[in-house]
Structure 1
Amino acid sequence: MMIAHYSHRLPAHYDMGLIRSRVNDRSGQWSAVPDLYFKAFLVREIGRLGAVANDYSSLYLWRQEDAFRTFLSDGGFDVVTRSFGRPSIATYVALEARRGAGAAAKFLAMSESDIPVDADLTAALAGEGAWCREAASASGTVVATVGVDTRSWRTVRVLITEGESADPKATHYEICHLARPQFDTLPLSEAVGG
């Protein structure tokens, strides 16, 4: 599995209604993408959820790296670059992903942490998997996933929930739409029966 995330910082007075309309117009095409667990269409607006700038971004959980490569190389990404330019894409090897009992995906919280150079790598990554399973079992969680960037040795935690997260270390987003083509094939949290 692979997590990919990119964002577009927008001017302070940008009409975020244009982004919401764009999402409404384009989100349906993602409902049947093979090898995609989900795509979250995300916004941050100045003054909401701790945001100091307007932002439009996308976060993907791909079943395999080849699907992401195809998206980039076969023209699927062109609509992004034509509209917003070519963003940097943060990519992570997904260590684990679990569905929770929540249904309405309204918020996403994402946090990154460095793995200290002297840390036991096996133990650190096992701890991230344990976080994912625990987070997925919490009330209101739709999905939790965790990944690692092996270039910088940073982990990323992604939590999609029905209500706002209280994590002060996370970057918080509103979800405009969550496309879920292969979502139901993700394992359930233990609390739900997985």
Structure 2
Amino acid sequence: MIAMQYNFTLPADYDMGIVRQRIASKGHLMDNFPGLVFKAYLHAAKNTVPTQSAQNWYAPFYLWDSNEGMNNFLCGDGFATVSQAFGWPAVSNWSVWHSHVHAEVASASYATREIIAIAPYTALPALRETETAAAKKASQQDGLLAVVTAFDPNAWTLVRFYLWRDAGFANAGQDVQGYEVGHVSVGAR
């Protein structure tokens, strides 16, 4: 499995209603996309509750069954359209160590994402075991609809991504980015 995200940083005075309207009108287009586990249409408005974001963001997060689905999306019309509207983003991707997706994932309304640097010469088997155990434990939390733990061996980062039923369930720390979820597309199975 592969986790993927790109971020569009929007101007401080950007009307985030435009992003919410775009998600409302186009979000369903990724429903049943082959190879997709889910796509969470994420956005955060600067200095607003519940995200407390330092910037305005449009930042979709994807979980793919394999690289074929990801490649089909990135080489397709959908990515071409979004990049023409918002710019050509860097696309982060991580190799998934563990994921758990609840059957009600499409009802998520809030997300948290934490990216952590992996120190040089870290014992990766031990880190993987620890992170997998933590993700399995986290998946038992009330209100948690998806958990993804993954790593990028190019940038040496770890990502912890959670989709929540609502913001009241989340316990976002200081270095955790919170997002509102405009729509969750679930892929064809």
**Offset, 1:118:** 3.2
TM-score (norm 1): 0.88
Deviation, structure 1 residue 100: 4.2
Q: Which residue of 2 aligns with 1:167?
A: 172
1:113 aligns with 2:116: yes
How much identity, in percent, do the aligned residues show?
A: 25
Residues 130-166 of structure 1: CA deviation (Å, up to 9, x unaligned): 1211111111000101110011221100011123222
2:11 aligned partner:
11
Partner in structure 2 of residue 95 of structure 1: 97
Q: Which residue in 2 is equivalent to 1:179?
A: 185
Question: Could you tell me which residue of structure 1 aligns to residue 127 of structure 2?
Answer: 124
1:1-194 map, 5 Å:
1-48=1-48, 49-100=51-102, 104-164=107-167, 165-168=170-173, 169-182=175-188
Give, in whole Å, the separation in 2 of the partners of 1:77 and 1:54: 20
Once the 2 structures are TM-superposed, how far is the Cα of residue 68 of structure 1 from its aligned partner? Answer: 0.8
**Distance between the aligned counterparts of 2:104 and 2:70, measured in 1?**
27
Aligned counterparts of 1:135 and 1:2: Cα–Cα separation in 2: 20
Measure the CA separation in 1 of the matches of 2:71 and 2:103.
31
Q: TM (normalized to structure 2)?
A: 0.90
Give 1:5's aligned amino acid: Q
Aligned residue in 2 for 1:188: none
1:99, distance to aligned residue in structure 2 (A): 2.5
- Report if the CA contact (8 A) 1:101-1:141 is conserved: no
TM-fit CA distance, 1:94: 1.1
Q: Secondary structure at the match of 1:86?
A: coil
CA RMSD of aligned residues (A): 1.6
Separation (CA, whole Å) in 2 of partners of 1:74 and 1:173: 26
1:72 to 1:101, Cα distance in 2 relative to 1, 3 A: closer
**Residues 51 and 62 of structure 1: CA distance in aligned 2, closer, same or farther (over 3 Å):** same
Unaligned runs of 5+ in 1: 186-194
